[in-house]
Amino acid sequence: MTSPTGHPPRAPRDLLRDPPRDTTLRTAHTGRHPHTDRATLGELHVSAFKSHRGTRLGLGPVTLLTGGSGSGKTAALEACGVLARLGAGATLEEAFAPVPGGVAACVPQRAKPDAAGRRGVRLGCTVRGPLGDVRLDVAVQAEPELRIVGERLTGAGHTLLATALRDPRRDRVQASWHTGPAPVTRAPLPDDRLGTALLPLRIGGRTDGEQLVLAAAEQAVLALRSVYPCDPHPALMRAATAVPIGGEQLTPDSRNLPAVLRRVRDECSLRHAALVDALRGGCAGPVHDLTTEEYGDGLVRAVLLREPGRRSTPVETLGDGELRYLALALVLLTGPGVLAVDPASEVLPARQVLTVLADGLDRSLDARQARELVALSGRMGARGHIRVLGSVGDPSLAEAECATAVPLPQRRERTGPQGEGAKAEE
């Protein structure tokens, strides 16, 4: 693809460089894959983010990151969360806000600024779907001001979108996208949002080339919008002993669990029965049923029914491990309609694959609960509607037959020439 001047569209040089080979992590899922009718995250590229430099993670239906403290497990999941929020249309500030310390904490500490004092992060992903592999790479300048300075979308043997910062005085990047045999189309795009997510609003699909760009952008955005970061907080779940009925989509911290349990019990008896069966493997003592009790002021609480004739157990009195197990099992057994995730109304629910991000999947869980939860992840992943990308403290969990183990080595921050991989060039 060439521009009217005969030269390929310009993109940041750092963005175009391949990751350093000695820091590339490849798994059994890294490489070329056949086409699939569902858009899924196949690889995560953490090129420059916190302690990561040139990291490339191959993702399977259940991918478990292992490694000691400081190996970058949480950072990899945070990078995926940032990319997912950008894909859902968030601004840069919104995308980095959930990361402790914001974007400033994501810049590799020893990355040297360029002559203009600029430093930043680089991240991306490969999405597998009907078009085959579609790769998205983004360069974000964090200092001296937050902005996207380069983005590239490639697929089907073409560079489908390339953006670059031409004039630092403007809050725009110059975008060029593929139109087919004719020269590329150029237009400015805002520098605080992902250009790929904006393409469906800017391209009419008048040529075969534009239709290809739209299909690739929609494949990438669909996979990113289907990411659900999940980290149940037992303290917050206990603080909300009884929650209001209404808006029953499970929040990432699971503080509104009782209202969601009520909805699942009323709307889907099969999922409710599967959840109760899963609880028998993760809760101490007998489990007969899981129900909810409503109060006259519009509140609901969750109750675990023991054997007939025995007293019931309010869910908020369960241990931390049991509460996290219950919430995570509910996530695995439901889907976008029940979870607080952006549903893709433009595709059939059967074609949307939810990717659950679970940092510390086995946190507060005993060995039996952790094994049961990984096994449940494998069973649901085998159905093709849900995938899990998580980190575990116990590396033996990643040895499960259903899991793809990704051991992360202990990292020492290093910098290449001029802060390799951290600065975002024009």
Per-position DSSP letters for 61-87, written without gaps between them:
SEEEEE--TTSSHHHHHHHHHHHHHHH
Residues 101-112, mean pLDDT to the nearest whole number:
91
Residue 73 has pLDDT above 70, yes or no: yes
Residue 406 has pLDDT above 50, yes or no: yes
Q: Is cis: bond before 407, omega within 30 of 0? A: no
What local confidence, expressed as pLDDT, does residue 137 receive?
A: 97
Q: Write out pLDDT tens, residues 344-378.
A: 555 555 667 899 999 999 999 999 999 999 999 99
Q: Distance between CA atoms of 420 and 31, rounded to whole angstroms?
A: 25
CB environment 16-55: b (16+ within 10 A), e (fewer): eeebeeebebebebbeeeeeeebbbbbbbbbbbbbbbbbb
Look at strands 354-358 and 62-66 and give their pairing.
Answer: unpaired
What local confidence, expressed as pLDDT, does residue 342 receive?
A: 61
Q: Distance between CA atoms of 373 and 390, rounded to whole angstroms?
A: 12
Residues 384-396, mean pLDDT to the nearest whole number:
94
Q: Are 62 and 388 in contact (CB under 8 A)?
A: yes
CB environment 384-407: b (16+ within 10 A), e (fewer): ebbbbbbbbbbeebbebebbbbbe
What local confidence, expressed as pLDDT, does residue 25 receive?
A: 46
Looking at residue 168, the DSSP 8-state letter turns out to be: T
Q: Distance between CA atoms of 62 and 29, rounded to whole angstroms?
A: 11
> What is the helix (H) or strand (E) element at residue 275, kind and residue range?
helix 269-280
Kindly give, in sequence order, each residue whose CB lies less than 8 Å from that of residue 317, ignoring residues fewer than 6 positions away. none
Residue 390 has pLDDT above 90, yes or no: yes
Question: How many CB atoms sit inside 10 A of residue 267's CB?
Answer: 12
Q: Distance between CA atoms of 365 and 322, rounded to whole angstroms?
A: 7
Terminal-residue alpha carbon distance, the chain: 20
Closest CA to 279 of 219, 321, 227: 321
What local confidence, expressed as pLDDT, does residue 8 receive?
A: 35
Residues 310-324, mean pLDDT to the nearest whole number:
91
Residue 33 has pLDDT above 70, yes or no: no
Q: Distance between CA atoms of 70 and 392, rounded to whole angstroms?
A: 13
Q: Distance between CA atoms of 369 and 323, rounded to whole angstroms?
A: 11
> pTM score > 0.75 for this model?
yes
What local confidence, expressed as pLDDT, does residue 166 receive?
A: 87
What local confidence, expressed as pLDDT, does residue 411 receive?
A: 64
Residue 22 has pLDDT above 70, yes or no: no
Following DSSP, what letter does each residue of 319-379 receive, concatenated?
-HHHHHHHHHHHHHHS-TTTBTS---TTS-GGG--EEEEETTTTTT--HHHHHHHHHHHHH
Q: Write out pLDDT tens, residues 153-184.
A: 999 889 999 999 988 888 999 998 888 776 67
- What number of residues does the chain have? 426
Looking at per-residue confidence, does 30 or 260 come out higher?
260
State both tokens at 363. 């946190």
Q: Distance between CA atoms of 211 and 180, rounded to whole angstroms?
A: 9
Residue 310 has pLDDT above 80, yes or no: no
3-state secondary structure 98-143: CCCCHHHHCCCCCCCCCCCCCEEEEEEEEEEECCEEEEEEEEEEEE
CB environment 302-333: b (16+ within 10 A), e (fewer): bbbbbeeeeeebebbebebbbbbbbbbbbbbb
Q: Distance between CA atoms of 59 and 187, rounded to whole angstroms?
A: 34
What local confidence, expressed as pLDDT, does residue 243 receive?
A: 67
Residue 14 has pLDDT above 50, yes or no: no
Q: Are 43 and 12 in contact (CB under 8 A)?
A: no
Three-state secondary structure call for residue 283: coil
Q: Is the dihedral of CA 76, 78, 81, 87 positive or negative?
A: negative
Residue 249 has pLDDT above 80, yes or no: yes
Residue 224 has pLDDT above 60, yes or no: yes
What local confidence, expressed as pLDDT, does residue 415 receive?
A: 40
Residues 412-424, mean pLDDT to the nearest whole number:
41
Residue 58 has pLDDT above 80, yes or no: yes
**Mean pLDDT score of the chain, rounded to an integer?**
84
